[in-house]
Chain A
Amino acid sequence: MLKVIIDNIEIQVEEGTTILQAARMIGGKVVPPAMCYYSKLKDSGGKCRSCLVKVVKGSAKDPRPVPKLVASCSTPVQDGMVVENTLSAEVQEARKGVVEMLLINHPLDCPVCDQAGECDLQDLSFGFGMEETETIEPRREYPGIDIGPLIKLNMNRCIHCYRCVLAAEQLTKKRAHGMLYRGDTMEISTFIQTAIDNDFSGNMIDVCPVGALTDRTFRFRSRVWFLNPMDARRECGKCSGKVVAWMFGKEIYRITGRKDQFGEVEEFICNECRFEKKDINDWVIEGPRKIKRQSVISSNHYEQMKKGSIIHPIEGTTEPQE
């Protein structure tokens, strides 16, 4: 067992754990945001740099600090390591820069985007972003692509996190899409626009941190915060059949996987559950899904009113240190 201190909180972890995983074991404000790392996908992480942290003390044996900020999702902990996330002004400043970089080419079309309200980048830029942008150059623009009849790809919004590529590679037998070109002009594409057609391709939508991949069966039907998320299950031969049904009255508008507090699905679900079963009789409704209080999806759902609960600062966001 290795001892690691993150933001003055000590925790014992197994060898091979990354700093991000250790921070997630502590939970709360200590957890760095992650746009590309996805614990359920092998080899994910290390691309977006939004999880940068400062290592103040390398290890018990070698107490020198690491000279540069490290990506917590891909750095394993050492025994006696001391890490600063919210306590370090340098980290907060760097994260602000990362958000700015991610937003250079990201269009401000949240009013149109179906992901708005449950978008990681929206949360990240709300937490760390700036009011102003320094870029005056036009953003890159691509036409929208229909990847098959079920998935819509909007490359303008893509932040090159690779999650969808990894999901396709690890969940399905044969992936039919990948990254083309390099750097700024990089884009997700399928092999000569072939439709992605296999049972688990819909999970690309769930793993996408932004609105680049969205559900065509739900396209523009409603805003997520007008829907009631309900835990639902059914007998399914291909997957666990445990999903969240997003309902409006008695109508199911869309089906997604059950996402945990870090925005990762608990279990990947199959396309039949996701796209085809939109009738309430197909599902056993277990009860309302708890969504984080600070999410816009929970707005106007007064399950429990605490005195002054509205004027309290939003939980989970970290203010930059002075």
Chain B
Amino acid sequence: MTAAGLTKRSKIVSNKTMSFWEKIYLPAIIHGMWITAGHLFRKKTTVRYPEVKREFSEIYRGKHVLKRDDEGRERCTACGLCAVACPAEAITMVAAERKPGEENLYREEKYASTYEINMLRCIFCGLCEEACPKEAIFLTKEIVNADYDRDKFIYGKELLVEPMDPLKRIDVSKRQTPEVLEFKKDRNQRHNVH
């Protein structure tokens, strides 16, 4: 089989000598400059981030948040389903037992003493959110900031858990469709009864 037969995109290279006009390169340079100048007056396709930000979808999948419940207790119970669902294996956690007197901090008997997401591994697919049985982890519209140091991309609980202050809570209601919210009201569903 000839080389040309392997792919349809192969080109036969010619070694023909250039003419005088081609040798001085000027027409080619002027032509190139004309194209560049033409682009100066076109509509720009980039934005000047971070001064200008693009509009995000309401259900954009960005940085994760670990939600607290209405009483400010952490919802996460370190069940490990997000970690097992994660296709990038970005999530790790260590569980601990709630001690007497910590009932206002943690919702369940067990909680995550460390919870880490490696944002470099994360592909923001949202499977952790789908796997979560406690509605603890959600993806938000926030994006993960750039940094110079790889270690800083391993986000621990201090970056993931939402603030205790009710005014600073992160709203995830847009991520929950009306059907989901309606389903949650149904007390006949075993999922909704504790």
Contact = CB atoms under 8 A, between A and B. Distances in A.
Q: B-side binding surface: helix, strand, loop or mixed?
A: loop
- The dominant DSSP class at the A interface is loop
Contact of B193 (A131, A133, A144, A225): A133
Interface stretch (A36-44, A108-116, A158-166, A260-268): A108-116
A194 interface: no
Interface in B92-151: 95-97, 108-110, 133-134
15 contacts: A107-B194, A109-B108, A111-B79, A112-B77, A112-B108, A112-B110, A132-B190, A133-B189, A134-B188, A136-B188, A220-B78, A220-B95, A220-B96, A225-B84, A296-B84
B191 interface: yes
Given A220-B110, A225-B80, A226-B84, 12 more contacts: A109-B109, A111-B79, A111-B108, A112-B77, A112-B110, A132-B188, A219-B97, A222-B80, A222-B95, A223-B84, A226-B80, A300-B84
Contacts of B187: 136
Contact of B190 (A108, A219, A221): A108
A299 interface: yes
B81 interface: yes
Given A220-B96, A223-B79, A131 B189 contact: yes
A135 to B, nearest CB: 8
A222 B79 CA distance: 9
A132 B95 contact: no
A112 B83 contact: no
Interface of A: 103, 107-112, 116, 131-134, 136, 144, 219-223, 225-226, 296, 299-300
B74 to A, nearest CB: 13
A120 B97 CA distance: 24
Q: Which 8 A-B pairs have the closest CB atoms?
A: A111-B79, A223-B80, A133-B190, A220-B95, A112-B110, A111-B77, A220-B110, A132-B188
A108 B194 contact: yes
A157 B54 CA distance: 51
Contacts of B193: 108, 133, 136
Contact of A112 (B84, B109, B190): B109
Contacts of B189: 131-133
A134 B190 CA distance: 9
Given A111-B108, A112-B109, A116-B79, A220 B97 contact: yes
B189 to A, nearest CB: 6
Interface string B165-194: 000000000000000000000011111011
Nearest to A136: B187
A226 B95 contact: no
A215 to B, nearest CB: 13
Contacts of A111: 77, 79, 81, 108, 110, 133-134
Most buried by B among A110, A116, A133, A134: A133
